[in-house]
Chains A and B, each alone.
Chain A
Amino acid sequence: MNDTADSTLKNTLPQRQFLSIAMENLLELIIRLSGISAIIFVLAIFFFVFREALPIFFSDHFDLAKFLFNTQWYPTSEVNVRYGTFALTFGSISVTFLAMIIAVPFGLGSAIFISEFCGPKMKESLKIIIELLAAIPSVVWGFIGLTVMSRIIVSLTGAPVGVNLLNGGLILALMSVPIIVSISEDALKAVPDSYREAALALGATKWQIIYRVLLPSAKNGLLAAVLLGIGRAVGETMAVLMATGHAVQIPHGPLDSVRTLTANIAAELGEASAGSDHYHVLFLTGILLFIITFAVNLTADLVIRGIRRK
């Protein structure tokens, strides 16, 4: 019975050309392949960077504990080669930390202003400005740090050198504010209006609504925004290369120069001849960075996913 019904149905349906079916299958195959391309690329990045880093583990001069926790970075020394990246890691952390101290309050404040105090027109234009802010290339930021910001810092603080931790922190703060604003604005938008209305009905002030209602209920989204801002700041290269002064040391204050992991790779990769220990160790630094940003992004993603599930 079923068979006959099927065959009659088949006969009444217009037959599709074999070619078009084949084309469609081919296209779907391409689509599926492209779909998994992101995984392939992430794995490829890890694989190729790790492949170039691997030989360093067999080098006599290398010791993983020293690599992570020693502050001595002498990759080309003729008497005593030392690959300690702790000062660089610390540089990355301190610049990021400083940037976040500036960017988080301003980013969250701006997001709150945009989502709670603005009319629709104003909101739209502010969001466009934020988006344009996010589009400024990092090398232009670096140039701003090198020329404009360093002069301002020297004249305001009397620091001997204008390219320092503070400069890098300010530049990174300006760079990561847009991402913090746009993600926290999304998080605030996701708080149901009924919450606000309930608070208003109880006679709460705007300040109370923000402080007691919005921030607690959007806290995961805001946390994710901050994490993504951190991810952006840790991974930033050109701007910190040009703005932080590039000195291997543990900074004693915001006016000291530092060097970050990213800037170190950018400055030395062009100079390390392929196949040398120095070259391999730079790739290992890349792996370190990859792992740090991977962890930060993963956490942010889990936090955001947590909100969605809720």
Chain B
Amino acid sequence: MQTHRSTHLCHSIMLSALMIAVTGILFLAGCQKGDEQQAKSEVTTIQLKGSDTLVNVAQAWAEAYKKVAPTVDVEVSGGGSGVGIAALVKGTIDIASASRNIKPQEMETAKRNTGKDTKDFTVGYDALAVYVHKDNPLNEISIDQLAAIFAEGGTVTKWSQMGVTIPGVSDDEIVRISRQSSSGTYEFFREHVLNKQDFKLGSRDMNGSKEVVELISNTKTAIGYSGMGYATPSVKMLCISPKPGEPACPPTIENTLTKKYALARSLHLYTLGDPEGAVKQYIDWILSVPGQKILEENGYVPADVAKPAN
């Protein structure tokens, strides 16, 4: 009886092992089938990687482009402008997105690694906005003041030093909200506001632009920076004057285009050499009216499409 039982059980274990194996094989076969199907309809995958500022737009583009060209899959990864460009110059991705300009040494590396020059497409403009809580009475700030708040060795740590009292808060300490190092936004802010000096330690370094804005909307004593596309009703964008005494201007579309706003920056896509085939069609589509409309819907300023972007 026992032997019967155990042979029976033995079969059952073999069966379950078989089941696992079969599932595995079916699964792989399924992938294989997927391969074949895709091979038939010739699906092309475009890999796009880079700027966290652009990642949401890039995602929206990829989503919309699936409807325009169903045979093109676009993979979107964030990671930061530096990472996107680093991957591009290694030749591992098709398009790098960046919220800063490519550096000369990066172009050299690309030339050395792949024998190709990087090609730059300006796809839009963004204003780096400085956000505070909506109850904060402060309306404008100068670049120097920002540096005094954020830079290493900066002396401003309390709102009273700025001559500001925030209603309904006993704590006077400025809560600095920053981005994690090596995001394009962080580098841009460091270069244009802190004049390449380092940040003061102890700021809360968020992983996404959205987290910055969300934290500010929950914290009355906070100040932080993020792309203008991330504005919500519970935060306020400050007007920025390039120097104390000079007129401050708000981050608007016009001020961004005319560069009157001090923290305006251009948004780029980079490819290796002149793009061909699907990549070229994709970038052309991004620069065309529907692509630029998506950019605008995400809160950025469209590039001047009449002018050839280069």
Determine direct contact between A and B, CB below 8 Å: yes
A→B interface (CB under 8 Å): 71-80, 87, 150-151, 154, 158, 160-163, 241, 245-249, 257, 259, 267-268, 270-274, 276, 278
Point out the residue from A73, A241, A271, A278 that lies within 8 Å of B201, measured CB to CB.
A73
**Cα–Cα, bound, A249→B197 (Å):** 19
What 3 pairs across the A-B complex have the smallest Cβ distances? A273-B86, A249-B202, A271-B80
**Cα–Cα, bound, A76→B185 (Å):** 13
B→A interface (CB under 8 Å): 78-80, 82-83, 86-87, 169-171, 173, 175, 180-183, 186-187, 190, 196-198, 201-207, 215, 218-222
Judging by beta carbons under 8 Å apart, are A272 and B203 in contact? no
**Cα–Cα, bound, A78→B83 (Å):** 17
**Cα–Cα, bound, A306→B154 (Å):** 55
Judging by beta carbons under 8 Å apart, are A271 and B82 in contact? yes
With both beta carbons as reference points, the residue of chain A lying nearest to B190 in the complex is identified as: A78
**Cα–Cα, bound, A78→B192 (Å):** 13
Would you list 8 pairs from A and B whose C-beta atoms are within 8 A, ordered by A residue?
A76-B181, A76-B186, A79-B198, A161-B204, A161-B222, A246-B180, A271-B80, A278-B182
- Contacts of B87 on A, CB cut-off 8 Å? 273
- Contacts of A249 on B, CB cut-off 8 Å? 201-202
Judging by beta carbons under 8 Å apart, are B221 and A160 in contact? yes
Point out the residue from A75, A162, A257, A259 that lies within 8 Å of B218, measured CB to CB.
A162
**Cα–Cα, bound, A247→B204 (Å):** 4
Q: How far is the CB of B268 from chain A (nearest CB, A)?
A: 17
Judging by beta carbons under 8 Å apart, are A160 and B182 in contact? no
- Contacts of A75 on B, CB cut-off 8 Å? 181-182
Judging by beta carbons under 8 Å apart, are B204 and A271 in contact? no
**Cα–Cα, bound, A160→B158 (Å):** 13
- Contacts of B198 on A, CB cut-off 8 Å? 74, 77, 79-80
| Interface-centre pick from B180, B196, B201 (highest chain A CB count, 10 A) | B201
Judging by beta carbons under 8 Å apart, are B222 and A160 in contact? yes
- Contacts of A267 on B, CB cut-off 8 Å? 180, 205, 207
Known A73-B201, A249-B201; further 8 A-B contacts with Cβ < 8 A: A76-B186, A160-B173, A160-B175, A248-B202, A257-B204, A268-B181, A270-B78, A273-B82
- Contacts of A77 on B, CB cut-off 8 Å? 198
- Contacts of B197 on A, CB cut-off 8 Å? 79
**Cα–Cα, bound, A249→B157 (Å):** 15
Judging by beta carbons under 8 Å apart, are A161 and B201 in contact? no
**Cα–Cα, bound, A106→B124 (Å):** 55
**Cα–Cα, bound, A274→B182 (Å):** 13
- Contacts of B202 on A, CB cut-off 8 Å? 247-249
Q: How far is the CB of A44 from chain B (nearest CB, A)?
A: 24
Judging by beta carbons under 8 Å apart, are A271 and B181 in contact? yes
A259-B182 in contact given A154-B218, A160-B219, A271-B79 (Cβ < 8 Å): no
- Contacts of A78 on B, CB cut-off 8 Å? 190, 196
Point out the residue from B183, B186, B204 that lies within 8 Å of A246, measured CB to CB.
B204
**Cα–Cα, bound, A152→B198 (Å):** 34
Judging by beta carbons under 8 Å apart, are A271 and B182 in contact? yes
With both beta carbons as reference points, the residue of chain A lying nearest to B186 in the complex is identified as: A76
Q: How far is the CB of A308 from chain B (nearest CB, A)?
A: 31
- Contacts of B187 on A, CB cut-off 8 Å? 76
With both beta carbons as reference points, the residue of chain B lying nearest to A244 in the complex is identified as: B204
**Cα–Cα, bound, A257→B201 (Å):** 12
**Cα–Cα, bound, A80→B153 (Å):** 14
- Contacts of A162 on B, CB cut-off 8 Å? 218
- Contacts of B170 on A, CB cut-off 8 Å? 158
With both beta carbons as reference points, the residue of chain A lying nearest to B78 in the complex is identified as: A270
- Contacts of A246 on B, CB cut-off 8 Å? 180, 204-207
**Cα–Cα, bound, A259→B203 (Å):** 10
- Contacts of A273 on B, CB cut-off 8 Å? 82-83, 86-87
**Cα–Cα, bound, A199→B169 (Å):** 58
With both beta carbons as reference points, the residue of chain A lying nearest to B92 in the complex is identified as: A274
Judging by beta carbons under 8 Å apart, are B83 and A259 in contact? no
With both beta carbons as reference points, the residue of chain A lying nearest to B85 in the complex is identified as: A273
Judging by beta carbons under 8 Å apart, are B220 and A160 in contact? yes
With both beta carbons as reference points, the residue of chain B lying nearest to A272 in the complex is identified as: B182
**Cα–Cα, bound, A207→B208 (Å):** 52
**Cα–Cα, bound, A257→B215 (Å):** 13
**Cα–Cα, bound, A267→B222 (Å):** 21
Point out the residue from A150, A154, A271 that lies within 8 Å of B183, measured CB to CB.
A271
Q: How far is the CB of A168 from chain B (nearest CB, A)?
A: 13
Judging by beta carbons under 8 Å apart, are B83 and A87 in contact? no
- Contacts of A245 on B, CB cut-off 8 Å? 204
**Cα–Cα, bound, A158→B168 (Å):** 11
With both beta carbons as reference points, the residue of chain B lying nearest to A84 in the complex is identified as: B201
Q: How far is the CB of A27 from chain B (nearest CB, A)?
A: 13
- Contacts of B205 on A, CB cut-off 8 Å? 246-248, 259, 267
| Interface-centre pick from A71, A160, A249, A276 (highest chain B CB count, 10 A) | A160
Q: How far is the CB of A291 from chain B (nearest CB, A)?
A: 25
- Contacts of B169 on A, CB cut-off 8 Å? 160
**Cα–Cα, bound, A77→B182 (Å):** 9
Q: How far is the CB of B174 from chain A (nearest CB, A)?
A: 10
Q: How far is the CB of B13 from chain A (nearest CB, A)?
A: 14
Q: How far is the CB of B184 from chain A (nearest CB, A)?
A: 10
Judging by beta carbons under 8 Å apart, are A76 and B182 in contact? yes
**Cα–Cα, bound, A187→B197 (Å):** 55
